[in-house]
């Protein structure tokens, strides 16, 4: 059986809408072996929300890999051990896709080239902002083109990531439907300028610019009604020393970049901002995951959810 550890991801990062994603030090493990017929087991965080059937995203990705390399009739025994809260804007579905694809490719002889594997998982997920950093680790700026994904990978240093996960879900469909078909030209200009500043700040270590660079007018204002307290949580993060803060993906998780020595404090303050409004939440002090998806040795300890910040 092949086991693959895959990190959670945070997409958008403010104005980097559907183009920028970051791997975080939460993870899941996908284990895969050949089997006479499909068999899927799911354990860990949110197991009741994840299909234990061949419709599981990791199983579907494994089958796509098998078809790509000429074994369309193979069946798998798949085990997911999960520490990524599902339906919270932390890229759990993309991580599962990546885990299934990487495990199947390794199990079936590594017939897919890395570039083909990257294009496959990004196509399956629909865009690269979660799938690419889950596969490659670090910070990925990328876009899908007719010729495949075009991307740049960065490795931000000395950067903490506080995340607060409120105890409710936001469906991706609802979050997408909240967005207008047309936006004011001035708002598009606002985001374009901040997107450039965001990438420059992360590439050069000018994290002091993130407070401005992570501002957004194209998705957070339209989704704020789905996450009561969003603006307060973001402002609380900044008041307690975060460089910048934003909605993670489509939410409801909120992310803040911090100096490493302040990550615990910022995470706790963000949690208190939610609980002060009567919303239960958990918060974690995380790091940037630079490894991405990696095949683990047999017998490796299962992925565990880090202890939440009090």
Q: What is the 3-state secondary structure (H, E, C) of the chain?
A: CEEEEEEEEEEECCCEEEEEEEEEEEEEEEEEEEECCCEEEEEECCHHHCCCCCCCHHHHHHHHHHHHCCCCCCEEEEEEEECCCCCCCCCHHHHHHHHHHHHHHHHCCCCCCHHHHHHHHHHHHCCHHHHHHHHHCCEEEEEEECCEEEEEEECCCCCEEEEEEECCCCCHHHHHHCCCCCCCHHHHHHHHHHHHHHHHHHHHCCHHHHHHHCCCCCCHHHHHHHCCCHHHHHHHHHHCCCCEEEECCCCCCEEEEECHHHHHHHHHHHHHHHHCCCCCEEEEEEEECCCCCEEECCCCCCCCCCCCCC
Mean pLDDT over the full length of the chain: 93
- 288: β partners: 24
**Residue 27 in marked binding region:** no
**Residue 86 in marked binding region:** yes
Quote the pLDDT of residue 305: 61
Quote the pLDDT of residue 298: 65
Indicate whether this model's pTM tops 0.75: yes
Using only C-alpha atoms, what is the Rg of the chain? 19
**Residue 95 in marked binding region:** yes
Distance from C-alpha of 7 to C-alpha of 233, rounded to nearest angstrom:
24
Long-range contacts of 181-189 (CB under 8 A, 24+ apart): 183/217, 183/218, 187/217, 187/218, 188/218
Confidence grade of residue 301 (pLDDT, cut at 50, 70, 90)? low
Q: Which two tokens stand for residue 285?
A: 């002090």
**Residue 303 in marked binding region:** no
Distance from C-alpha of 62 to C-alpha of 247, rounded to nearest angstrom:
30
- Say if 2-154 and 160-287 have the same CATH topology: no
**Residue 306 in marked binding region:** no
Quote the pLDDT of residue 299: 60
pLDDT tens digits, 96-138 = 999 999 999 999 998 899 999 999 999 999 889 999 999 999 9
Distance from C-alpha of 210 to C-alpha of 241, rounded to nearest angstrom:
12
Please state whether the peptide bond connecting residue 252 to the residue before it is cis, i.e. omega within 30 degrees of 0.
Answer: yes
What's the whole-number mean pLDDT along residues 218-239?
Answer: 94
Quote the pLDDT of residue 122: 93
Contacts of 16 (CB under 8 A, 6+ apart): 129, 141, 195, 198, 199
Percent of the chain with pLDDT over 70: 97
Choice between 303 and 265, residue whose per-residue pLDDT is larger: 265
Percent of the chain with pLDDT over 90: 84
- 27: β partners: 7
**Domain 160-287 CATH (choose: 3.30.70.890, 2.40.160.20, 2.170.150.20, 3.30.1490.150):** 3.30.70.890
pLDDT tens digits, 40-74 = 999 999 999 999 999 999 999 999 999 999 999 99
**Residue 245 in marked binding region:** no
Quote the pLDDT of residue 161: 97
Quote the pLDDT of residue 170: 85
**Residue 90 in marked binding region:** yes
- Spans of all domains in the chain: 2-154, 160-287
Quote the pLDDT of residue 250: 86
**Residue 93 in marked binding region:** yes
Whether the predicted pLDDT of 300 surpasses 70: no
**Residue 278 in marked binding region:** no
Quote the pLDDT of residue 264: 97
Neighbours of 226 (CB within 10 A): 18
**Residue 19 in marked binding region:** no
Q: What is the CATH number of domain 2-154?
A: 3.30.230.10
**Residue 89 in marked binding region:** yes
Residue 255: φ, ψ to 5°? -110, 145
Among 138-142, 151-155, 172-176, 203-207, the range scoring the smallest mean pLDDT is 172-176
């Amino acid at each position: 059986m092949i086991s693959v550890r895959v990190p959670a991801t945070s997409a958008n990062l403010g104005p980097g809408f559907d183009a920028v994603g970051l791997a975080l030090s939460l993870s899941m493990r996908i284990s895969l072996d050949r089997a006479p017929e499909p068999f899927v087991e799911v354990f860990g965080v949110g197991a009741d929300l994840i299909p234990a059937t061949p419709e599981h995203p990791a199983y579907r990705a494994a089958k796509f890999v098998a078809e790509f390399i000429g074994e369309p009739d193979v069946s798998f025994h798949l085990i997911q051990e999960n520490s990524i809260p599902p339906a919270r804007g932390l890229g759990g579905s993309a991580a599962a896709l990546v885990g299934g694809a990487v495990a199947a490719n390794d199990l079936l002889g590594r017939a897919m080239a890395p570039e083909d594997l990257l294009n496959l998982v990004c196509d399956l997920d629909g865009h690269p902002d979660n799938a690419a950093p889950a596969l490659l680790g670090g910070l990925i700026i990328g876009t899908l083109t007719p010729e495949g994904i075009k991307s740049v990978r960065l490795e931000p240093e000395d950067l903490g990531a506080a995340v607060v996960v409120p105890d409710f879900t936001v469906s991706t469909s609802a979050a997408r439907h909240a967005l207008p078909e047309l936006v004011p030209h001035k708002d598009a200009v606002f985001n374009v300028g901040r997107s450039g500043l965001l990438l420059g700040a992360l590439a050069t270590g000018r994290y002091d610019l993130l407070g401005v660079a992570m501002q957004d007018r194209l998705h957070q204002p339209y989704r704020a009604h789905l996450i009561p307290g969003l603006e307060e949580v973001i402002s609380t993060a900044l008041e307690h020393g975060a460089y910048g803060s934003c909605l993670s993906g489509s939410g409801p998780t909120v992310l803040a970049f911090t100096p490493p020595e302040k990550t615990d404090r910022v995470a706790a303050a963000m949690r208190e901002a939610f609980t002060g409004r009567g919303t239960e939440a958990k918060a974690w002090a995380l790091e940037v995951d630079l490894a991405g998806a990696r095949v683990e040795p047999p017998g490796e300890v299962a992925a565990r959810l880090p202890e939440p910040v009090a």
